[in-house]
Amino acid sequence: MMSFLNDALEFLPILAVGIQNTLLVTLGSLVLSTGLGLVWAIMRLSKNAALSACGATIVNVLRSIPIIVQLFYIYFVLPEIGVELTALQAAIIGLGIAYSAYQAEDFRAGIQALDRGQIEAAESLNMSYGLMMRRVILPQAVKIILPSYGNTTVMMLKDSSLASTITVGELSLQGKLLAASTFQNTTVFTLLALLYLVMCGPLMLANRWLERRMSVGRH
């Protein structure tokens, strides 16, 4: 046990760089996926058939392609057509685009769960669509999707490890390199699992709290 603690204290400063990159990838892709997901959801719910079909197509295509393939495409293929991105930028954009499809479904479900009477009341007040979305629909939809949003955040934090496949020095890649150079596989990967648990644990607890709060609010 003492040996593990001593090695952990030695390895933590090295892994700290990976933790920083992991958090950067997670936060950046979370912001991007939220914005794009909202756009796709609004498109899917549009009364314009062409726009709705376009939104549905985008969501279904993104959900059908593995995240790792999307990362490879952005990092390795786009430079061939003149779009140069750093590995970190490619990871954020790739994860953000991939998860935007799942965010879109959460937003769509939240909006469709609203009481239709409130939307009709807003329409009777001659609110524009944009104003109705800002004042009536989105504030209530956000409350409904908060628990699933928290769950998505946890999943994105874990899936940030996929960024290692395009050379981003996030936590899992740093751990792999450290284990290869020290041959301390048990210590390094145990420490890696504990660090992910420390980062994901508070998010999962917050998600459970939100689920209970939303459940109480509906009764």
Q: pLDDT of 162-190, one tens digit each?
A: 999 998 989 998 999 999 998 888 888 99
Give the pLDDT of residue 213.
76
**How does the average pLDDT of the chain come out, rounded?**
88
Decide: 4 and 190 in contact? Cβ < 8 Å. Answer: yes
SS (H, E, C) 48-63: CHHHHHHHHHHHHHHH
Look at 57-71, 73-87, 135-149, 179-193 and tell me which has the smallest mean pLDDT: 135-149
Domain 2-217, architecture per CATH: Orthogonal Bundle (1.10)
- The C-alpha atoms of residue 70 and residue 65 are separated, in whole angstroms, by 7
pLDDT(201) > 60: yes
Decide: 108 and 43 in contact? Cβ < 8 Å. Answer: no
The domain ranges of the chain are: 2-217
Terminal-residue alpha carbon distance, the chain: 49
Helices and strands, counts by H and E, the chain: 9, 0
- pTM higher than the cut 0.85: yes
Distances (CA, A) of 130 to 32, 35, 127, 134, 136: 21, 15, 8, 6, 10
In tens, the pLDDT along 2-56 reads: 677 787 788 888 899 899 999 999 999 999 999 999 999 999 988 899 999 999 9
pLDDT(217) > 60: no
Greatest pairwise CA separation for the chain in angstroms? 70
Give the pLDDT of residue 124.
78
pLDDT(60) > 90: yes
Distances (CA, A) of 20 to 46, 85, 171: 39, 19, 8
List Cβ neighbours of 16 (8 Å cut-off, separation of 6 or more): none
- pLDDT confidence tier of residue 218, bands split at 50, 70 and 90: low
In tens, the pLDDT along 89-136 reads: 999 999 999 999 999 999 998 888 887 777 777 777 777 777 887 778
Decide: 39 and 198 in contact? Cβ < 8 Å. Answer: no
Contacts 24+ apart (CB under 8 A), 64-70: 65/98, 67/94, 67/95, 67/98, 67/159, 67/162, 68/162, 68/165, 70/94, 70/97, 70/98
- The C-alpha atoms of residue 167 and residue 150 are separated, in whole angstroms, by 27
- pLDDT confidence tier of residue 1, bands split at 50, 70 and 90: low
DSSP string, 1-68: -HHHHHHHHHHHHHHHHHHHHHHHHHHHHHHHHHHHHHHHHHHHT-SSHHHHHHHHHHHHHHHHS-HH
Which has more confidence, 62 or 215?
A: 62
DSSP state of 143: H
**Mean per-residue pLDDT for 138-159?**
87
- The C-alpha atoms of residue 189 and residue 175 are separated, in whole angstroms, by 7
